Structure 1
Amino acid sequence: MDHQEQRGAAAVTPDETDLAILRLLSRDAGMGAAEIGRALDMTQPATWRRIKRLQDAGIIAGRRIELDNAALGFGVTVFLGIRLATKGRTSLEEFERAVTAIPEVQLVQHVLGQFDYRLRIVARDIADFERILRRRIMTLPGLGQVEANVMLSEERRPGPLG
């Protein structure tokens, strides 16, 4: 059953309790049902059932851990705007296949606007980024214009649930 079928099979409109659970999980995806239940004055089984229902409905799409890139030795984050030289379904698929194979590329976004793609790349330092740019990015199929923006700082925002 794919994501669309899951959503259709178990349509859920989150109530205030569901939203409170989602807020807690969005801050710390590792929280268990017992801990969430204590925070919301609910039993662990009732909390677990709500989380399971939200997962089955596709509202909770997964849980992730967040790594500290700097602590792992990746002190530079660069956002690249990429415009392809040629556009067409084949070039898009070929570009996407090649760019997702580059380990330093953390995020590939197909976007509308000045660029066709936006990439988030991590590197150990500027010299490492230059190596990645020259040896991996500049050799991508269909590559046209590239614009780099080095991230100086990042402020975390809580998201739509507050």
Structure 2
Amino acid sequence: MIELDAQDRAILHALVEDATLSSPALAARIGLSQPVTWRRVRRLEEAGILAGRRLDLDLEALGFGVTVFLGVKLATRGRVSLTDFERAITAIPEVQTVEHVLGLYDYRLRVIARDLADFERVLRRRILALPGVGNVEANVLLSEERRPGPL
């Protein structure tokens, strides 16, 4: 792991706010020259601290009005391998995240759907049809507040 100084943290903070900043715009925002900023960004990428950039889509504007968090407990671990379950569940496009967790459930899923009827279809026909799925608990997202984590 590399040591991060105040300028590295400023670069990360600026990119968390807007990952589309060009090198000159980023340099102007943090008060460094463009070549120095570019070299620092490259160093952060090579160290694996900056692992890519992604778009933040407005799911509701795209027609996905429901987000549901599912807790999934596998019925029998011996019959279905975790790898097989993960491969099958990640093939379902409505499943946005798959997290293997400790606790009451084996997996925590984030599932998007157009509405509750669409979610029920995904749940019944795709998720519950997977081999090894035992108990499932659903929590419908009412609102989401996003805060970038500390750097």
TM-score w.r.t. the length of structure 1 is 0.90
Relative to structure 1, is the Cα distance of residues 51 and 103 closer, same or farther in structure 2, using a 3 angstrom cutoff?
Answer: same
- Report how many aligned residue pairs link the two structures: 151
Amino acid at match of 1:69: L
- What percentage of aligned pairs have identical amino acids? 64
Separation of aligned partners in 1, 2:61 and 2:71: 26
Residue 54 of structure 2 corresponds to residue 48 of structure 1: no
| Structure 2: stretches of 5+ with no match in the other structure | none
Which 4+ runs in 1 deviate beyond 6 A? none
Separation of aligned partners in 2, 1:33 and 1:14: 19
Residue 146 of structure 2 corresponds to residue 156 of structure 1: yes
TM-score w.r.t. the length of structure 2 is 0.96
Separation of aligned partners in 2, 1:97 and 1:26: 30
Is 2:24–2:34's contact at 8 Å kept on the other side of the alignment? yes
Is 2:79–2:132's contact at 8 Å kept on the other side of the alignment? no
Counterpart position of 2:17? 27
Q: Cα RMSD (Å) of the superposition?
A: 1.2
Counterpart position of 2:26? 36
Separation of aligned partners in 2, 1:90 and 1:12: 40
Is 1:84–1:116's contact at 8 Å kept on the other side of the alignment? yes
Counterpart position of 2:113? 123
Within 5 Å, which residues of 2 pair with 1:9-158?
11-88=1-78, 91-158=81-148
